Amino acid sequence: MTVSLPRTAAAGVLATLAALALSACGAAPDTTSTTADGKSAATATSAADFGGLDKLVAAAKKEGTLNAIALPRDWANYGALIDGFQKKYGIKISDENPDGTSQDEINAVTSRKGQDRAPDVLDLGSSFALSAAQQGLLAPYKVQSYDDIPAGQKDTQARWYNDYGGYISIGCDAKRVKTCPTTFADLLKPQYKGQVALNGNPTKSGSAFGGVFAAALASGGSFDDIQPGLDFFAKLKKNGNYTPVESTPATVEKGETPISIDWDYLNAGYADEFKSKGVDWKVTVPSDGQFSQYYSQAINKDAPHPAAARLWQEYLYSAEGQNLWLKGYARPALMTALEKAGTLDKTAAAKLPEVTGTPKFPTEAQQDKAKTVIAGGWAKAVSG
């Protein structure tokens, strides 16, 4: 919140208004959580700094609250993760704006710096995690299982690391669509007029960004060239197949977005969720645009509850947390490590949508370039 007054305003008035503004916005709490050597919990880079996990748990319980943002309960089984953490540690999770985007998360961090309602933790599309790190918004912290996270899926400074992911897929309401598309090439067919949707805007949403990247790969593009993806959606818009309605569980259930380009774990979740409601939701990972991406977990450098933020990370990267994501059809970052340790939920793993080959990921530079291209060209591609 900003309070603007003329320069001639009396100092006493300024002080009073400033105090009122701080109170209204929510001043940062007097956080007393400390590490083993008496330093602020906000400086801890591992559980060892607290004297071990048990001491971290004690510090987090003392704070008693965790501020999360943009975590829909039906997204990758986040409802079970939130409930599991609260039950295990007795720490209340406040989940603001559950349908928000990665950019909304970053905006909340920058606009609420110093406030007790600022987000403690972030779940970001990988390109947005890179951006947040570049802006100096994230706190370095190594969870106990950090070394088991694949090298290409974590920041060397531990400011972010991948948590769960999947493949871009095509979801289709088989009761409303006579023949469901299984490739990006299919989506251009005239029979799908006004039916093809994205989950969000690719300038703000990690899932929509992935959808454009997958379309690029299916249209002669590459990690170095996302422009064919924009061209694909321009064609989709021109022939009337693209709908600007952003797909959500509600739009899927109502039939407003009978074809949705989205992560496979979300589309697979819809198939389960709506089976009892008469929706026959089919899910296919398109062979011509196989794009895999993970979301990334991070801690706000100025988290109002720094110990709880770090404990949340430890929970997410424990076998319990990783398997809960797996039950939501998401592929956890530690899947290979869990399999080697014998702690992987094999039943849940067997239900994942089928894919072939080994996933590859764009580099930081490639993602930055792609974001710039999309920022400058998305509106033009789907306008009119």
At residue 38, the pLDDT reads 87
33, pLDDT greater than 80 = yes
Domain-embedded: residue 25? no
Domain-embedded: residue 309? yes
Residues 134 and 74 in one domain: yes
Which H or E run includes 229?
A: helix 227-238
CA separation for the pair 163, 153 (Å, rounded): 9
Contact in structure between 59 and 34 (CB atoms under 8 Å): yes
Nearest alpha carbon to residue 261 among 288, 222, 297: 288
Domain-embedded: residue 27? no
Domain-embedded: residue 12? no
**Number of structural domains found in the chain:** 2
Domain-embedded: residue 32? no
Share of the chain above pLDDT 90, in %: 78
Q: Buried b vs exposed e over 68-77: b needs ≥16 C-beta within 10 Å?
A: bbbbbebbbb
Domain-embedded: residue 26? no
Domain-embedded: residue 6? no
> Is the sign of the CA dihedral 232, 256, 292, 126 positive or negative?
positive
pLDDT digit string, tens, across residues 149-168: 998 899 999 999 999 999 99
Residues 252 and 366 in one domain: yes
Q: What is the DSSP letter of 300?
A: B
Please work out, in degrees rounded to the nearest 5, the angle formed at the alpha carbon of residue 193 by the alpha carbons of 208 and 263. 25
Strands 92-96 and 65-69: parallel
Contact in structure between 335 and 326 (CB atoms under 8 Å): yes
Residues 98 and 175 in one domain: no
Please work out, in degrees rounded to the nearest 5, the angle formed at the alpha carbon of residue 90 by the alpha carbons of 87 and 91. 110
DSSP lists the bridge partners of residue 55 as none
> What is the domain range of residue 73?
40-164+294-349
Residues 94 and 225 in one domain: no
- Which residue has tokens 């949340």? 312
Share of the chain above pLDDT 70, in %: 91
97, pLDDT greater than 60 = yes
Q: How crowded is residue 296: how many other Cβ atoms within 10 Å of its Cβ?
A: 30
Q: Mean pLDDT of all residues in the chain? A: 90
Residues 236 and 368 in one domain: yes
Token duo for residue 306: 């720094």
Residues 159 and 299 in one domain: yes
Residues 154 and 178 in one domain: no
Residues 304 and 244 in one domain: no
Residues near 158 by beta carbon (within 8 Å), at least 6 away in sequence: 45, 140, 141, 142, 146
Residues 158 and 259 in one domain: no
Residues 90 and 212 in one domain: no
Residues 77 and 133 in one domain: yes
Stretch among 76-85, 138-147, 286-295, 309-318 having the lowest mean pLDDT: 286-295
Q: What are phi and psi of 122, to 5 degrees?
A: -135, 140
Taking residues 263-292, report their average pLDDT.
Answer: 92
CA separation for the pair 222, 263 (Å, rounded): 19
Band the pLDDT of 32: cuts 50, 70, 90. low
Band the pLDDT of 354: cuts 50, 70, 90. confident
> Is the sign of the CA dihedral 96, 101, 106, 112 positive or negative?
negative
Nearest alpha carbon to residue 282 among 210, 164, 166, 178: 178
CA separation for the pair 85, 251 (Å, rounded): 30
Q: What is the DSSP letter of 241?
A: -
Residues 239 and 335 in one domain: no
Q: What is the CATH number of the domain that holds 279?
A: 3.40.190.10
Contact in structure between 232 and 286 (CB atoms under 8 Å): no
